[in-house]
Amino acid sequence: MRVLAAGSLKSVWPALMAHFPQPVDTLFGPAGLLRERIEAGEPCDLFASANRAHPTSLLDQGRALSIVPFASNTLCLTVRSDLLHPGDDWLTLLTRRNLRIATSTPGADPSGDYTQRLFTLMGDAGEVVRQRAMALVGGRDTPPVPHGRLAAEWLIREGKADLFIGYASYRSALRQIAGLTVLEIPAVFNPPAEYVCAVITPQAEALTAFLASPLAKSVLRQAGFGG
- Any idea what the CATH number is for the domain that residue 56 is in? 3.40.190.10
Backbone angles phi, psi at 178, to 5 degrees: -60, 140
Residue 143's pLDDT band (cuts 50, 70, 90): very high
Mean per-residue pLDDT, 84-92: 97
Say what the pTM is.
0.95
Q: Are 101 and 133 in contact (CB under 8 A)?
A: yes
Assess whether 165 and 83 both reside in one domain: yes
Rounded distance between C-alpha atoms, residue 214 and residue 13, angstroms: 16
Assess whether 160 and 88 both reside in one domain: yes
Among residues of the chain, what percentage have pLDDT more than 70?
A: 100
Assess whether 202 and 170 both reside in one domain: no
pLDDT of residue 85: 97
How far is C-alpha 78 from the geometric centre of its chain's CA atoms? 14
Assess whether 16 and 54 both reside in one domain: yes
pLDDT digits (tens, 9 = 90+) for 89-123: 999 999 999 999 999 999 999 999 999 999 999 99
Q: Is 202 inside a domain boundary?
A: yes
- pLDDT over 90 (residue 227): no
pLDDT of residue 198: 98
Containing structural domain, residue 157: 75-184
Q: Say how many domains are in the chain.
A: 2
Q: Is 43 inside a domain boundary?
A: yes
Coil, helix or strand for 76? strand
pLDDT of residue 19: 97
Among residues of the chain, what percentage have pLDDT more than 90?
A: 99
